[in-house]
Amino acid sequence: MFGVPIMRELNSKTLASILIGTILEWYDFSLLGSMAPIIAQLFFPSKVPTLSLLATFSVFASGFIARPLGGVLFGHLGDRKGRKYALSLTIILMALPTTLMGLLPTYQNIGMLAPIILIVLRLVQGAASSGEYPGAICFLTEIAPANKRGLWGSISMFGVGGGILLGSVFSYILTTCLSNDALYSWGWRIPFIVGLPLGIIGFYLRYRVTESKIFAEVHEKQVVHKMPFKQVLQFNFLNLNRIILLFSLGTTTFYMSFVYIISYFVSTHRLTLSNAFLFNILSSVCMLFFIPIFGYLSDKWNRKIIMLIGAFCLCIFSYPIFKLFLSNDLHQLLLGQLLLAFLIAMFVGPVAATSAEIFSTATRYSGVAVALNVGASIFGGTSPLIATYLVHISGKEIMPCIYPMLVAFLAFFAVLTLKNNQKHALNEII
């Protein structure tokens, strides 16, 4: 008999617990990206700013190396032991390395050992993050009313964006309140160290939630696979690859806008650090506002149509948006970020529900976790690194726009060939 209490109705406490936990965990994971200009100087000092930034983005990307394996692991735990179990574990595994990053001596203190330890901690972060977002997707879509899965599923992405927004707000406050010397000597450590108490709060909230009713019923009927991911590979391989491309587009465009563009302009002294954080805050608010709107619209209309329009626009408008970025006008830069944030929201709003509706309940966590983390690792997490490298070898700042255009082109055809299970109950999908 399944020992975890079965949730009988959707309630605000459960939603708040999952949402707050996701916000806190992605606050931890995003800090290295938002603080990249500072980390570059402290851990990878170089006379060439682009090379320092390239090294920092390599560490940022290293957090994604562990994610595919972590996706298999947490997917396995989530499908066999429950969504609540996996989600509670991820938040603690994220908080600890984040706090240790804030306590880590810099290159000036311990030399090459500093960036090596930073990479190790980032790998642990990557493994932990691999189970968070997929778990939130599974949990929220499973507890949602059948006609509101798009809206409730989009809340998972709202939590991811909310965590990154929280990190940007914290960083903005520090950069405006502290002197440059104070910021680089000790101030940068504060957001990382705060990760521990936030993680404890998140764990407490997660521990109090009840298990997804749909999963609990499957567990009670003993419809549990010994190797859930093996089932996905055997019976849902093509759809798995399509969902990988969906998540690839969302993460690629997101990290290009919120990590690469801002960090690149700070490193080339065309944007102050405080303005960079302010721009990220405004763009994050824009994206967070529209994500649940497009999630809601996907419940009223066809999810595929909305995603097709989003992918098409991201492909067509990447070049004009990058032209705005490179205009050397702060207003144009902000406009470009806001436009990209809107298009990202259009595409990712329906993605969570779409991905959950592709896999059966017994394999959902594994399928979503592997698809998301493979897409984020191969395309998303490497996008700031690839963008910086493209500029470095070509000498043309417009070159990075090619990357999101290519991914959007592939994602468009993935959506086009994807089966729409919007009208099916989740426990009917096999």
Please report which helix (H) or strand (E) contains residue 56, including its range: helix 49-62
- pTM equals 0.82
Answer whether 346's CB lies under 8 Å from 222's CB. Answer: no
How many folded domains does the chain comprise? Answer: 1
For residue 425, is it within any domain? no
Q: Residue 198 to residues 22, 166, 193, 404: CA-CA distances in angstroms?
A: 11, 12, 9, 33
* Distance between CA atoms of residues 103 and 285, nearest Å: 30
* pLDDT tens, residue order, the chain (430 aa): 334 333 344 456 677 777 777 787 777 777 776 777 788 788 877 766 667 667 766 776 666 778 888 889 999 998 888 888 888 888 888 888 889 988 999 888 888 888 888 888 888 888 888 888 888 898 888 888 888 899 989 988 888 778 878 887 887 888 888 888 888 889 889 888 888 888 888 788 777 777 878 888 877 776 778 888 888 898 889 999 999 999 999 989 988 887 788 777 777 777 787 787 788 888 888 988 999 999 999 999 999 999 999 999 999 999 999 888 888 788 888 898 899 999 999 999 999 999 999 998 889 999 999 999 999 888 877 888 888 888 888 888 888 889 999 999 999 999 999 988 888 777 666 6
Q: Which two tokens stand for residue 204?
A: 């407490």
Taking the CA atoms of 296, 293, 87 and 16 in sequence, report the sign of the dihedral they define. Answer: negative
Where residue 42 sits, what CATH number does that domain have? 1.20.1250.20
Q: Is residue 422 in a domain?
A: no
In a domain, residue 38? The reply is yes
In a domain, 49, yes or no: yes
Q: Which two tokens stand for residue 286?
A: 């824009």
Q: Which domain holds residue 151?
A: 12-413
Flag whether 132 is in a domain.
Answer: yes
- Planar angle of CA 123, 400, 374, nearest 5 degrees: 35
Instruction: Flag whether 28 is in a domain.
Output: yes
Note whether residue 418 is domain-resident: no
